[in-house]
Amino acid sequence: MAINEIQEEIISEFEVLQDDRESTIFYIMELGEKLPSMDEKDKIDINLIKGCQSKVWLITKIYDNNVYFRADSNTEITKGLISLLIRVFSGQDADDIMNANLFFIEKIGMHQMIGSQRSNGFASMIKQMKLFALTYRELNKHKKFNAHS
Amino acid sequence: MEDPVIQYSTRFDVQAIRSIFPLLDQEVNGYPLAYFDNAATTQKPVSVIEALHDYYTGYNSNIHRGIHALAEKATEAYEQTRLAIQEFINAPEKEEIIFTRGTTEGINLIASTYGKKFLKQHDEVIITGMEHHSNIVPWQMICDETGAVLKIVPVSVTGELEMDELENMISDNTKIVSVVFVSNTLGTINPVKEIIKKAHDAGAIVVLDAAQAMQHLDVDVRDLNCDFLAFSGHKMYGPTGVGVLYGKRKHLEAMPPYQGGGEMISEVTFEKTTYNDIPYKFEAGTPNIADVVALKEAVYFISNLGKQTIRTHEATLLAMATEGLKEIDTVKIYADHHHKVSVISFNIENMHPFDAGMLLDAKGIAVRTGHHCTQPLMARYGIEGTVRASFAVYNTLEEVDRLIKAVSRIATR
Ligand SMILES: Cc1ncc(COP(=O)(O)O)c(C=O)c1O
């Protein structure tokens, strides 16, 4: 599914919660519980995202020219939040990830819900995911270039 | 007309108290605010807020240097707070009261003046395992600089100091013992009088971090015989940005100045500067006049109400919270003992404190979550943080009931 279609899907799921704060948090925690845990061996400092209040580990894999993400966190809410990003980004084309406009964040009222400190952390997650996509694309260009020469 | 303040002390009326804290009357996320983050900072009574307003609308002026009427009035108001603080802690002399930005600045001041002058290689500074970072880092810094050694009194499972260990640790090498009077994370009241006695017997001086003591306990520096005492205005119903450092005259006089600038000098030439007398030697630059002036109202608020009255009410809140939370199987309480102020730190099984805090916030309940600037203490318990509810005199039993119900709901989700 395309990034924007997934975003629309998330928006409609959150609509059911009708801005009720507690239900929304419980829902995000449920999403966090459903996200498969990462291998303990990957939960190391170099995989930590800087700028998050809680710990968030993020790793990527490239498969069939698409970028796949795996993440984990020590808090359930953060895990739920990053699971949304994984749902939107994982398995997508690097260019699409880099160019994505994440309109679902505002639509589901994320900022009001999680406050400014966690919003900063959330922004760091997005930045890191886009950075991975960029790195992959640049490496790939390089490879193609080398292959042609 | 009856004086409302006198009414409080004869018959405790929490609603009357709440009515003078305008901030409390608001909704958060659709629920009435239950503010349980008082150990971080308390709310302010109208008298404090009005004092700030009156200062800026009536007599804002720079102190000590002007001869005009406003400067005179501002200086007098500023110095009156010094007298109020002197009385509040029963200090022998008003010159022993130094205004700072808060506890943190007070401790840094001692470490970088007294510490720098008197510590040498192999001397020892003793702190405890339940210190706030403010009473750890300044000592680490000065120990690094002077070659002194930092020693740590361990904390027991129940959240109390291992006094036997402290006794073994104190020796002729001990120069400074700096301890937290009341733990901000656990609420534990430490036996500081006993510690001071032991330290003095060994020839060491004692610094008390009283950030969490002033709003609950009777603090009498003469009776305690501490050498220094540091606290913050904002945790005792006063404004932010102002604190107090009490120090015995003999120490303050022996210490070099902390910062250089205006106010702290007696005479300046390019060849040599002579310093002003205490306390001004330690109050360089234009101080935080407005907040110092308003701090006096916070002292009056506490004194008029009476610390005994405050403690009795807070103890009721704490007992109710402790009993209620204990009944929830998956809740673990830290430091469940009787030598404590109205602070309760806990965790819910399999739930990060951040998550619990956010769910409580959704119900209008403000608690603090995390390490509370006591990471070594968290490491002692092998945890990343706790949920901490800290009660003040304006909290109600209904609010505590809401906390218990909300935690119970989260825990059995
Ligand atoms: C025990 C203790 N010490 C020191 C401090 C630091 O106080 P301030 O930030 O007001 O300087 C605090 C405040 O959290 C505290 O609770």
C-beta atoms of A77 and B354 within 8 A:
yes
Q: Which of A104-118, B157-171, B276-290 has the lowest mean pLDDT?
A: A104-118
Provide the CATH number for the domain around residue A103: 3.90.1010.10
Flag whether pLDDT at B163 surpasses 70.
yes
The residue-averaged pLDDT of B285-310 equals 97
- The parent domain of residue A98 ranges over 3-142
Q: Is residue A148 part of a domain?
A: no
Query: Domains in chain B, start-ordered, CATH in brackets?
Result: 51-303 (3.40.640.10), 306-411 (3.90.1150.10)
- No. of helices (H) and no. of strands (E), chain A: 6, 3
Domain count, chain A: 1
Pick the residue from chain B with its C-alpha nearest to A112: B29
pLDDT band at B2 (very low <50, low <70, confident <90, very high): very low
pTM, whole model, 2 decimals? Answer: 0.92
Higher-confidence position of A144 and B309: B309
The encoded tokens of residue B81 equal 């707070």
Predicted complex ipTM: 0.84
Q: Is residue A105 part of a domain?
A: yes
Q: How far apart are CA B148 and CA B177, in angstroms?
A: 13
* Residues of A in Cβ contact (< 8 Å) with B359: 22, 25-26
Strand partners, B180: B209
Which residue has the least CA distance to atom 9 on ligand 1? Answer: B104
pLDDT tens track for B215-239: 999 999 999 999 999 999 999 999 9
Interface test with B, best of A30, A43, A76 (most B CBs within 10 A): A76
pLDDT tens track for B341-356: 999 999 999 999 999 9
